[in-house]
Structure 1
C-alpha cells in the first residue's frame, strides 16, 4: 500500500464526478476532464453515456441491467454506461467513497428557459441533487456555422473558476444544499462579460413536424441535438416500408413570451454573460395561481354538496 505524501494528498483531494448527455467521447466532456486533471486539485471520476443521449431529460433505465465499460482517460477513472445521464450520475454517486461535486457537461447548445425540462445534461445534475450531492450542469451556446470544437475547450476553462469556488464552499460547509446550478457559457466564450446570477426564463424553441422521406444524415464537425441550434440533423438511421409515414422535427420559432429583465437566463446569455441559474428538483406553479385553484375547488365542492 502506497503511504507516500503524494498518495495521501491524492486520497484527500476533492472528488468530482463528470457526466454529460453527448456521450463519453464528446469533446465538451473531454476538455472539461482535461482541465480538471491539469489543475491537480481533484480526484476525477467519469461516468457518461456510451453514446449520444441528448434530449432524454431525466429518463432512467429501470428493468434492464446497466452495462459499464472502463474507458482510458488520462488522469481520471472513467466508465461508459449504457444508460442515460441520470443513470450515470446515479451509479456514479452510489459508491461509498464519493463525497464531492457532480459536473454535467460541457453540452453543445444552451440550456436556458424551458429547455432545462428536456435536457439530459440538466437531468444528470438534477439526479445528483435529489440524492443530496451538489451539482452543476454546464452548456455552451453553440451557433452553427460560427462555433467550433475549440470553443468548447474555452468554455471548459471558463467554468473552472466557478467549480473551484463551489468546491471551497462545500469544503467550508457553507454551500447551500437547496438547489443545483445550471451554467450557460456565451458563444464568444473567450470574451464573456463575467458571471451573472440569473433566473430561469420561459425561452423555448417551438417545434413542429413535417413529413419527409429518408435521407442520409448530414455529417457535421460535431453533432448537436440542442433544440435551439440552427442546423439540420437526422438523429438516427430510419428504415421504412412504403406504408410508413416519416416525420421530422422542424424549428418553427423561438418564443420569449414577453419576458423582461436583465436577470433572465437567455437574455443575459445573449448579452454575453456566463449565466449561473439556481434550479430546484420540482416544477412549481406560480404562486398567484394558488388562490384561483382554491376558489375553483371550493365552488366545485359547493356544487357537489348542493346536488
Structure 2
C-alpha cells in the first residue's frame, strides 16, 4: 500500500483539502496533517518560538495547532511515521488560488511541498485558480481532483521525474473538464505587483495597515512559456522548482565586483 501525506495552507476545514483526500484515497493510505487555521503566504516557515501539538480530527487526519504547512510536514515525518515507513509522496493543496511566478516564494502551499522535498520525498504543490480574487470557489473541484489523481498516480507508478531537492508546482485552470486542454510544462512567469497596503485607524485612533490582494497580472515576454499564459489558455501549468536558489550565471560577475 502506497503512503500519501497531505497538507495545505488554507487550514484543515478547507473544502479543497477534503476534495484532495477524496481524489487520492483510491491510490493509497492517506494521512492528513493540516494547519488549524489559514496560513496563506507564510512561505517555507517553521514555528520556533511556541509549542505545537496535534489535534485529532478523524482517523489519519490531524490539525496542527497554529502550525504552518512546513511544520505539518516536518512533524508528520518525525512524529507520525515510523522511520522505515515514510510516505511515498507529499501533496500540498489543493490551494484556493493560484501560485504562479514570484508568488511561489510567498506560498505556504509550495512551502509544504518544499519540506517534503528536503526530506527526500517526491513532493507536489497543487493550486486551483480562482476567478473571484476574494478566494471563493464555486466549482465542484472536479478538474482539480482529476489533475491530482492523474499526477500522483503517475508519480506512484512511474516514479518522480526530478532529482533530489526538486519539486513540482502545479496550477489548475478555473474551467470545466470539458474545457480543459491538458498539461503544459512551463517556466515561472514575471508576476506584476502594486501597492495594495490600506491605511486605517482603529477606534482608539491608532493607525494600522491591512494588505490587500493584487490583480493577477504578469509581464509578457517574447518566447515566454509562462505558467500564467498556460493557465489562462485552460491548461494545467506544471513547473519544476529547485530549492537551490544560487544564481550560478552571476557568480563570476560578483567576483569581479568584489
TM-score (norm 1): 0.75
SS in structure 1 of the partner of residue 22 of structure 2: helix
**Which of 211, 217, 222 matches 1:249?**
211
Q: Does 1:14 align with 2:5?
A: no
**Which of 109, 113, 119 matches 1:121?**
109
Q: How does 1:228-307 map to 2 (within 5 A)?
A: 240-251=202-213, 256-261=218-223, 263-285=225-247, 287=249, 289-297=250-258
Distance 1:174 1:204, change over 3 A: closer
- Kindly name which structure, 1 or 2, has the bigger radius of gyration based on alpha carbons: 1
> Aligned residue for 2:186?
198
CA positional deviation for 1:249: 2.0
**Which of 50, 56, 61 matches 2:42?**
56
Q: How does 1:84-95 map to 2 (within 5 A)?
A: 84-94=68-78, 95=81
Write the distance in 1 (CA, Å) between the matches of 2:51 and 2:105. Answer: 26
Q: Are the aligned partners of 2:166 and 2:242 in contact in 1 as well (CA < 8 Å)?
A: yes
CA positional deviation for 1:260: 3.5
Q: How does 1:142-157 map to 2 (within 5 A)?
A: 142-144=130-132, 148-157=137-146
Q: Are the aligned partners of 2:165 and 2:244 in contact in 1 as well (CA < 8 Å)?
A: no
Q: Are the aligned partners of 1:54 and 1:119 in contact in 2 as well (CA < 8 Å)?
A: yes
Structure 1, unpaired ranges of 5+: 1-12, 214-239, 298-307
Name the Cα RMSD after superposition. Answer: 2.3
**Which of 130, 134, 153 matches 1:164?**
153
**Which of 188, 197, 203 matches 2:175?**
188
Write the distance in 1 (CA, Å) between the matches of 2:136 and 2:36. Answer: 25
Write the distance in 1 (CA, Å) between the matches of 2:120 and 2:94. Answer: 22
Write the distance in 1 (CA, Å) between the matches of 2:132 and 2:161. Answer: 40
Number of equivalent positions: 251
